[in-house]
């Protein structure tokens, strides 16, 4: 994911509380008074001994026409410390030499101290991407941002899209290069990024360095057509490849990353292979002029080496015979493979053989699908595997990344699990760590509360090794708190869940991985999948051609391996407490393990649903969608835990002249939605420059926990994770029950539950 950045949004945030009327996002009426001015300051606060917590805000009162009371309490986040969310239980102590990351037994481990047996420990990564200028904060901002990310439970930051000219200004650089033509580094950029990597490491945060994502080579001849980000030309063009080799050597040397405890992994090339462009049908437009001539020469040599007669360069996949398609796929796969092999060799020469390296993503799932099984072969010299997926990715109908002309479907994860989350399970390579290095369900999707808890539990059950949300920020406005596009910084829905999910995923709790099934495909099977135009749809292809159910990752841990022919085998079964199911009729997920319980989806008001010991009943005033996630805070199973955390955030919106922003139909059929601007003629309100304050939907509900014979105390939490006030609860012989977000109760998106056992 790469795009240009703009300035951020206001730092003032509010949450929205509805009382007795059902929440109707598209029919909110106009406020008749302004939000009250905050009369008390929110003080910086952080306690390093407290486990993960969520985000909630308080309210004062204001009248809305056509509704009952809407309660606000402004929270001016400019006065808050960077650690505005309580730190997770994972230590944010500075990384030391023994914390250097290596790959052992198919997972990431710390290197440990030489000569001391058994002191390595397994590491799971939960983090965020930073893109473009966000990677080059000032010294002061870098320290504050590192502390904030550590407080959120982040232990890895993906440094993305730094391969562009620095264009230094008073604010600093936006990329690593002195200019686009030469692979020489900008000294200020080197200094700023080196300092920031060190600052992150001092707070226990590793980095994932993405090498090629955004660089567009300048045209050397008048007739040259260079595609956006040059892709896929650098994979086969000799001059561009030599440029990359020099750039990578300069970059890794200048950042002094050899044997660095701060570096977790390196990615070679973001979302680009020749074989992907071939199956997508974009090669004829991407490879033109002298570049096409160069590719044709390689094709002729390829055929000659196989004692085949000359044939036209097969840029177009449709219309090829099966044999010709197989041959063409092999040609493009071979070029991709040699490119990754060379670049992996360069990285190892600079950093050593132990550094974890991925080539390019196996797949990208979501609105735009690409990749396929052939990328297993493309990445054969890499040492870990990664993939991307998005739920309801933006559609830009006229110009890509036009923030003032966008659409979303407002669908949720349950509308297409087989094309997104479940599909991604089939992108894992047996014997290697697996990382989701980009995923999101971006604002203003109204069901985005589903993403983090569902994906986290799924990743725990699949025993994946990393989850990296795209993104935290892609500009210098890391301290802005209005909602905007992909950025976590102002998405209060996800902020309410992030630290909780980080603690759960990184906890490596026992007996939470599913039993594994290994699916073998031959090299020919993998090549023919791309020849057939798989376009990243691994699950549906396996279902159609080999009878593998797309739903099997709900109950089995999946990995792909090489074999002479198709086959499936399962190692010894594992004891597991994890469960994951989707009721397609009800449109609802239930999921969890011994240490967590979750519910996400559509729930009729007054209808009780349960997941393990968690029961949820939505009350009048709800729109009928919610995500509730319960986790243990003391590392004990839920049935024995004395401290529990419940998150149940609503969706987040900005504010315009008429009140909360509203999604409206953008086409006659209502398949697409956008937010209309209140002024001007633009098709959409800016995704990026969102008017404040932010507001959050209130989820009124009754919650019950099956804690037989136990008494408990419930506390609503504020934005700092501090107890706002006690919430009345009642117990019987089987349950602890309490109401949340109803009339007379404080609004909260998170609750601490103390159980006396």
How confident is the model over 24-46, as pLDDT tens digits?
A: 333 333 232 322 222 222 223 23
More reliable by pLDDT, 669 or 217: 217
Res 656: pLDDT: 83
Res 691: pLDDT: 75
The two three-digit tokens of residue 553, written as one number: 């990752």
What is the pLDDT confidence band of residue 516, given thresholds at 50, 70 and 90? very high
Sheet strand arrangement including 363-365: 357-358, 263-269, 206-212, 156-160, 125-131, 466-473, 434-440, 385-390, 363-365, 370-371
The pLDDT of residue 77 is above 60: no
Percentage of the chain modeled with pLDDT above 70: 88
461 touches 514 (CB < 8 A):
yes
Collapse the DSSP code of 152 into the 3-class scheme (helix H, G, I; strand E, B; otherwise coil) and give the result.
coil
Res 744: pLDDT: 87
Topology of domain 583-651+697-756, CATH: Chondroitinase Ac; Chain A, domain 3 (2.60.220)
Collapse the DSSP code of 519 into the 3-class scheme (helix H, G, I; strand E, B; otherwise coil) and give the result.
strand
Res 29: pLDDT: 30
Res 74: pLDDT: 33
- Extended strands (E) in 565-691: 567-569, 579-583, 588-593, 596-602, 608-611, 614-618, 625-632, 643-647, 652-653, 655-656, 659-660, 663-665, 673-675
Q: Compute the distance between CA of residue 415 and CA of residue 449 in angstroms, rounded to an integer.
A: 14
How do residues 682-698 score in pLDDT, each as one tens digit?
999 999 888 777 888 88
How do residues 460-473 score in pLDDT, each as one tens digit?
999 999 999 999 99
How do residues 362-400 score in pLDDT, each as one tens digit?
999 998 889 999 999 999 999 999 999 999 999 999 999
Question: How many Cα atoms occupy the beta-carbon half-sphere of 339 within 13 Å?
Answer: 31
More reliable by pLDDT, 539 or 658: 539
What is the pLDDT confidence band of residue 720, given thresholds at 50, 70 and 90? low
C-alpha R_g of the chain: 26
| Mean pLDDT along residues 247-273 | 98
Alpha carbon 265 to its chain centroid, in Å, reads 17
Res 695: pLDDT: 84
Q: Compute the distance between CA of residue 667 and CA of residue 686 in angstroms, rounded to an integer.
A: 18
* Pairing between β-strand 655-656 and β-strand 659-660 as defined by DSSP bridges: antiparallel
pTM here? 0.91
The pLDDT of residue 12 is above 70: no
Q: What is the mean pLDDT of the chain?
A: 88
Provide CB contacts within 8 A for 687, sequence distance 6+.
394, 403, 404, 406, 443, 484, 485
Around Cβ 350, how many Cβ atoms within 10 Å? 18
Q: Which of 276-280, 341-345, 491-495 has the lowest mean pLDDT?
A: 491-495
The pLDDT of residue 259 is above 80: yes
User: Locate tokens 């002479």: which residue?
Assistant: 564
What is the pLDDT confidence band of residue 91, given thresholds at 50, 70 and 90? low
How do residues 660-674 score in pLDDT, each as one tens digit?
888 999 998 889 999
Q: Compute the distance between CA of residue 669 and CA of residue 672 in angstroms, rounded to an integer.
A: 8
Q: Compute the distance between CA of residue 692 and CA of residue 673 in angstroms, rounded to an integer.
A: 21
How do residues 67-76 score in pLDDT, each as one tens digit?
333 333 333 3
User: Locate tokens 């994932």: which residue?
Assistant: 208
| Mean pLDDT along residues 168-179 | 96
Percentage of the chain modeled with pLDDT above 90: 79
The pLDDT of residue 47 is above 70: no
How do residues 558-598 score in pLDDT, each as one tens digit?
999 999 999 999 999 999 999 999 999 999 999 999 999 99
């Amino acid at each position: 994911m790469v795009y240009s950045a703009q300035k951020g949004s206001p730092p003032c945030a509010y949450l929205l509380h509805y009382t007795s009327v059902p929440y109707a996002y598209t029919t909110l009426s106009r406020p008749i008074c302004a939000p009250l001015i905050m009369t008390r300051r929110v003080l910086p606060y952080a306690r390093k001994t407290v486990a993960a917590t969520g985000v909630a805000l308080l309210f004062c009162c204001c009248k809305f026409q056509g509704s009952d009371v809407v309660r606000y309490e402004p929270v001016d986040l400019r006065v808050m410390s960077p650690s505005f969310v309580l730190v997770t239980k994972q230590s944010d102590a500075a990384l030391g030499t023994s914390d250097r990351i290596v790959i052992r037994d198919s997972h990431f481990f710390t290197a440990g101290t030489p000569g001391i047996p058994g002191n390595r420990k397994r590491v799971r990564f939960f983090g965020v991407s930073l893109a473009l200028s966000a990677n080059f904060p000032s010294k002061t901002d870098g320290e504050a941002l590192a502390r904030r990310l550590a407080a959120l439970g982040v232990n890895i930051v993906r440094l993305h899209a730094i391969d562009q000219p620095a264009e230094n200004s008073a604010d600093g650089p936006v990329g690593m290069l002195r200019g686009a033509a030469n692979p020489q580094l900008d000294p200020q950029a080197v200094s700023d990024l080196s300092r920031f990597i060190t600052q992150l490491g001092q707070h226990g945060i590793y980095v994932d360095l993405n090498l090629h994502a955004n660089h567009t080579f300048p045209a050397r001849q008048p007739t040259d057509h260079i595609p956006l980000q040059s892709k896929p030309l650098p994979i086969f063009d000799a001059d561009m490849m030599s440029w990359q080799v020099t750039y990578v050597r300069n970059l890794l040397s200048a950042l002094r990353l050899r044997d660095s405890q701060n570096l977790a992994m390196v990615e070679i090339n973001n979302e680009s292979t020749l074989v992907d462009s071939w199956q997508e049908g974009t090669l004829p437009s991407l490879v033109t002029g002298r570049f096409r001539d160069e590719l044709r020469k390689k094709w002729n040599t390829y055929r000659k080496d196989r004692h085949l007669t000359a044939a036209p360069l097969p840029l177009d996949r449709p219309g090829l015979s099966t044999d010709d398609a197989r041959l063409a796929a092999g040609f493009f796969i071979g070029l991709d493979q040699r490119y990754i092999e060379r670049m992996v060799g360069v990285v190892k020469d600079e950093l050593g053989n132990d550094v974890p390296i991925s080539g390019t993503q196996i797949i990208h799932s979501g609105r735009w699908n690409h990749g396929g099984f052939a990328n297993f072969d493309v990445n054969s010299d890499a040492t870990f595997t990664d993939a991307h997926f998005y739920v309801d990715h933006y559609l830009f109908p006229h110009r890509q990344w036009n923030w003032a002309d966008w659409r979303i479907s407002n669908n949720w994860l349950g509308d297409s699990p087989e094309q997104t989350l479940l599909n991604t399970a089939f992108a894992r390579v047996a014997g290697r760590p697996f990382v989701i290095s980009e995923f999101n369900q971006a604002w203003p999707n109204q069901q985005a509360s589903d993403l983090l808890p569902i994906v986290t539990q799924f990743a725990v059950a699949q025993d994946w090794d990393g989850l990296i949300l795209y993104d935290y920020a892609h500009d210098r406005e890391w301290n802005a708190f209005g909602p905007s596009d992909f950025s976590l910084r102002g998405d209060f829905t996800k902020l309410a869940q992030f630290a909780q999910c980080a603690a759960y995923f990184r906890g490596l709790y026992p007996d939470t991985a599913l039993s594994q099934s290994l699916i073998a495909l031959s090299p020919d099977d993998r090549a023919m999948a791309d020849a057939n135009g798989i376009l990243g749809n691994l699950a549906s292809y396996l279902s159609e051609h080999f009878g593998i159910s797309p739903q099997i990752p709900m109950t089995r841990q999946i990995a792909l391996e090489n074999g002479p022919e198709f086959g499936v085998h399962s190692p010894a079964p594992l004891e597991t407490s994890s469960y994951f199911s989707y009721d397609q009729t009800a449109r609802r997920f239930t999921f969890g393990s011994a240490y967590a319980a979750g519910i996400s989806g559509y729930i009729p008001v007054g209808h009780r649903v349960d997941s393990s010991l968690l029961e949820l009943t939505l009350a009048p005033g709800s729109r009928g969608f919610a995500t509730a996630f319960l986790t243990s805070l003391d590392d004990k199973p839920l049935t024995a835990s004395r401290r529990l955390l419940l998150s149940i955030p609503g969706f987040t919106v900005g504010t315009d002249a008429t009140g909360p922003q509203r999604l409206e139909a953008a086409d006659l059929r209502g398949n697409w939605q956008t937010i209309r601007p209140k002024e001007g003629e633009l098709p959409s309100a800016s995704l990026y420059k969102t008017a404040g304050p932010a507001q959050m939907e209130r989820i009124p509900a009754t919650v019950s926990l099956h804690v037989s014979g136990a008494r408990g105390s419930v506390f609503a939490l504020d934005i700092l994770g501090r107890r706002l006030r006690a919430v009345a609860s009642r117990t019987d012989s089987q349950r602890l029950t309490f109401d949340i977000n109803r009339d007379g109760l404080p609004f909260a998106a998170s609750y601490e539950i103390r159980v006396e056992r």
